[in-house]
Structure 1
Amino acid sequence: MIVKMKFLSISGPRTDIDRVCDVYLSKYEMQLENAVTELKTTDNLLPFVEMNPYKEPLAKAEEFTSKLSAAGTPADTALSTDEIIALIREVNHDYLELQEKKELLKKNKDELLEKLHVLEPFRPLDFDLHKVLHYRYMQLRFGRIGIDYYRKLEKYLFEDLNAIFLEGTRDENFVYGCYFVANTEASKVDSVFNSLHFERITISDEYIGSPAVAYESLEQDISDLDERIDEIDKNIQELLDDKAGKLLGARKRLEELSNNFDVRKMAARVDDNKEDYYILCGWMGEDDVAAFLKESENDDKVFVVVEEDREKFFGEPPTKLKNPKFFKPFEMFIRMYGLPSSNEMDPTVFVALTYTFIFGAMFGDVGQGLSLFVIGGLLYKLKNMNLAGIISVAGLFSAFFGFMFGSVFGFEDIIQAHWLRPMEAMTNLPFIGQLNTVFIVAIAFGMGLNILSMIFHIINAIRAHDTENIWFSTNGIAGLVFYGFIVFTIVLFMTGHQVPGNILMVIFLGIPVLVFVFKEPLTNLAERNHKKLETGKGMFLVQGFFELFETLLSYFSNTLSFVRIGAFAVSHAAIMEVVLMLSGAQEGSPNWVVVVIGNLVVCALEGLIVGIQVLRLEYYEMFSRFYKGSGREFKPFNNHKKQDKN
């Protein structure tokens, strides 16, 4: 069902807006509308331009609580607003101090890692770095040279070069090492190495001992820094965990305060030089309005007006659905198509009953149905997935029709069919001959649903005061008479009874046809609207003829679409017969692996296809007759929605 909405305005002293949001609006679901634009009959409305002071503390509280390690810590909500702000500032001060120390250590670590990276290729060299870098008559150059150039150096230049090259390590592209050269030969040797694209690498003279010893020393320094960083992380974690309860309570309260303050975005203020007050307006459920009025009746700072004249505001009321828990998952299908407007009926219960019933008829099997019921129910319970809830309920109907068809995991010799076997049951009809019984029942069921959809259309039209759709449309009373008489005649003929005479045919078929063609002038006449036809009489008749042809075709195609119910019931039985045949069940000793895999594949693939086909019937064959889905969703401003008791 659709919750009846009321539009109300709330006003009071400007400084009292936060209290009103905290004390009253946090308890009730209210969709706020922009008061500046909605209350067009009120003068001197101004928007609020204040900045939200709780955004930054809330962001900090969310950051701190996201780092908490203690799970299940209860939130301490005893702190006042000032105490919460002071807590966030204190924790943030200590946190930033520790973070600053940590960043400094990380910077030092990065510098050491860079030195480690530079020194690593020269670890095999066996000499004291500090000493060789301070030789008086000799110079030392560290660097790397391409492997191809190094081979040329070895082959052609080593014997004539007044330098000694010591190799450290090499990779697939470079040879790392150093060369010693006398001061007098340095310029000449440097030129030779430069011509071979020797890339010099600078190594500090701060190291004591060999490159390997220096490398180990750097590793130890980095390890010490890691321990200090871990110690700071531990201190940060202890800082936050010690105040976990207060931080959780602070975050919760700051969320409420921030959301309440954001109400100002939708509020208006009025300053008439005497007093400064706020105005809030929006939609609230009828029951919530009654409770809110009762709770605030003795509050002299709150003034509430429930608007009855819709011309004072823009737009239709938002739609809030309220259905029993059993039907609530099926609201998903309604939202996919579009929510009903305020003057439409809520089709959730209708969809729930028809969808599950049709699904069960198309997928009738006790074992597979109960499997869907259990798996869907568990997923719905654990994950709260609406689709899983729908599958679970549909599985119950599948199991019911499994009993009616006598099928358990495809086996038809375990239980007796309480109604019929889809592949075997045949019925002899006049003029047509023998036809599968499930096809006949499916078409008859579809006719009944079409008639029910037309009745729903008339109800919606009455609610909307739409004269044309009540009386003259193809789904209105004229359409109901026309289609209902055809269904009545077919039933009489197929059951061997005498069909209505020609006079009744003319009355119940001819008159509705004329109404279909002349629905526009008839509507104008009923509404006393002397509006002329937009097109000429000839074009009007031609257009009416083609619309009539389309209408008759739609009646036929809509009815025939329900044959798929019987077709899938038969095909499901046939597919399971193939599965049992492949497993060797006919010989009396089935391969249970094949049986299990076959049932899993049928459940997954055919269940998916049947689910889509049933949804197609709902949307195209039924919804198209009575449902528009043009409503807008009810969106309360506060994130802390109260739980629906139903």
Structure 2
Amino acid sequence: MDEARTELEARLDGEVHLESESGTEDEPPVKHDNPGPVKPFEPLNDLLSVPKYNEVDPSFLILLTFPALFGFMIGDAGYGVTTFLMFAAGYKLFPAAKEIFVSLMFASFMTFLFGLAFGDAFGYIIFGGHSELAAATGIELFSQIPILFHRAEHLGQVFTIAGAFGVFHVNLGYLVGGYNEYIRHGLKEAFLEKGSWILLQIGVAIAVLASQPIGLGVIGLSIVLIVLGEGAVGVIEIPSLLSNIVSYLRVFGVSVAAVVLAKTVNALAEPLLGTGSLVLTVAGIGVLVVGHIFNTFIKIMEGFLQGIRLHYVEFYDKFYDGGGRRYVPFGAEDASL
């Protein structure tokens, strides 16, 4: 550095200013390298931090799970349309954030699909045996369209799916973390630090569903492996595994709340719509429009905040270090380039 300064000062008549970014020379800068459909999800990842050069870029994983999680939580075809329109407007109005809005349009599309699967649109049952649309129009075809289930009538299934997704998502994180460890330190470290946690869950499942002695043996073995991989602190963190999975039950809460809010708006409007009065009918329509627009904003906030939180906290904790340096082309002033 001193030699470079001396030579530059001699060439430039002393007008030299050099800065050293200490601690960053050994960390190569990172530039995302993902196919087209994944690129809109890169900013969602980078809101937390840029990945390091020697770990998996989670952007593809966000594409796989975030839209589905968002869609399941809202799960209404009508709100799938309204959220899509709002995100499309955001895409036009805020070009600097257009990639994020594209990723959210993916989420709206999944919301629409889940809404069709649940037979829900703006809180009304449109398909299935209890189709309100069939009753209102007299078209029985709507009642014959198969659905998964109506969430308001099958809370237990919504609860089970939320918990099952939590188990899947957390263990996907362990698998990705194992791959990161394999790249950095080899197969042994990958199994000790990540595989041992999966083995612990297998032991619990065996103890609960099959043989308690065998399950307890597997649990004991997994704890030994956790200590070998992470030390005593790993044992202290075992309860956090349960809390991570339980956190996904918020998906159940948001999903049920989405149904309740939509039906509440409809319940407020229906007495006005059934009076036969033009004024009250217009007022009822106004309640529906304003209420469902308000609900759209609420659902966007809940779906985004809860969905991205589960990724950043419960999911990323299993594999993601982050803290990488974004690659900036020479001469560029904006680090987002």
Inter-CA distance 348–376: structure 2 relative to 1 (3 Å threshold) = same
Partner of 2:8: 48
Counterpart pick for 1:407 among 120, 125, 129: 120
**Conservation of the 8 A alpha-carbon contact between 1:403 and 1:417:** no
- Give the counterpart letter for 2:195 in structure 1: I
Deviation for aligned residue 1:417: 6.2
Aligned partner of 1:451 in structure 2 is: 171
Residues 393 and 470 of structure 1, relative CA distance in 2, 3 Å threshold: same
**Corresponding position: 1:564 with 2:228:** no
Partner of 2:196: 478
Secondary structure of residue in 2 paired with 1:419: coil
Partner Cα separation in structure 2 for residue 478 and residue 327 of structure 1: 31
User: Residue 181 of structure 2 is aligned with which of 461, 464, 480?
Assistant: 461
Shift, 1:345, TM fit: 0.5
Q: Is the 8 A contact 2:87 2:102 kept in 1?
A: yes
Aligned positions, number: 304
| Deviation of the 1:489 alpha carbon | 5.8
Q: How does 1:136-535 map to 2 (within 5 A)?
A: 314-381=25-92, 383-384=94-95, 385=97, 386-412=99-125, 413-414=132-133, 418-425=147-154, 436-465=156-185, 469-473=189-193, 476-487=194-205, 493=209, 499-500=210-211, 502=213, 504-519=214-229
Q: How far apart are the structure 1 equivalents of 2:53 and 2:319?
A: 15
Give the distance between the partners of 1:318 and 1:487, measured in 2 at CA: 42
Q: CA RMSD in A?
A: 3.1
* Paired residues of 2:82 and 2:296 also in contact (CA < 8 A): no
Give the aligned partner of residue 620 of structure 1: 313
Q: Which has the higher strand share?
A: 1
- Conserved? CA contact 1:579–1:595, under 8 Å: yes
> Is the aligned partner of 1:577 residue 2:263?
yes
The CA deviation string for residues 257-276 of structure 1, in whole angstroms up to 9 with x for no partner, is xxxxxxx9789xxxxxxxxx
**Inter-CA distance 479–265: structure 2 relative to 1 (3 Å threshold):** same
Partner of 1:164: none
User: For residues 262 and 227 of structure 2, what CA distance do their matches in structure 1 show?
Assistant: 50
Change (3 A) 1:631 1:581: same
Instruction: Check conservation: 1:580, 1:586, Cα contact below 8 A.
Output: no
- How far has the Cα of 1:486 moved from its partner? 2.8
Secondary structure of residue in 2 paired with 1:48? helix
- Tell me, yes or no, if the aligned pair for 2:81 and 2:108 is still in contact at 8 Å: yes
**Structure 1 residues 510 and 44, CA gap change in structure 2 (3 angstroms):** same
Counting helix residues as a fraction of each chain, which structure ranks higher? 2
Question: Aligned partners of 2:230, 2:94: CA distance in 1, in Å?
Answer: 52
> Partners in 2 of 1:517 and 1:368 — Cα distance?
48
Q: Secondary structure at the match of 1:575?
A: helix
CA distance, structure 2, for counterparts of residue 595 and residue 447 of structure 1: 38
DSSP-derived class of the 1:353 partner: helix
- Counterpart in 2 of 1:149? none
Where does structure 1 lack aligned partners over 5 or more consecutive residues? Answer: 1-35, 38-42, 53-263, 268-312, 427-435, 494-498, 522-543
- Structure 1 residue 633, shift from structure 2 partner: 0.9
Larger Rg: 1
- What displacement does 1:330 show? 1.8
Identity of aligned residues (%): 24
Q: Quote the Cα distance in structure 1 between the aligned partners of 2:61 and 2:253.
A: 23
Give 1:182's aligned residue. none
**Conserved? CA contact 1:373–1:392, under 8 Å:** yes
Gaps of 5+ in 2: 126-131, 134-141, 276-280
How far has the Cα of 1:514 moved from its partner? Answer: 1.8
Deviation at 1:382, TM superposition (A): 5.5
Give how far 1:501 is off.
Answer: 5.2
- TM-score in terms of structure 2 length: 0.80
Per-residue displacement from partner, 1:48-80 (whole Å, max 9, x unpaired)? 34669xxxxxxxxxxxxxxxxxxxxxxxxxxxx
CA distance in 1, matches of 2:7, 2:79: 60
Aligned 8 A contact 2:71 2:112 in 1: yes
What does residue range 22-33 of structure 1 map to in structure 2 within 5 Å? none
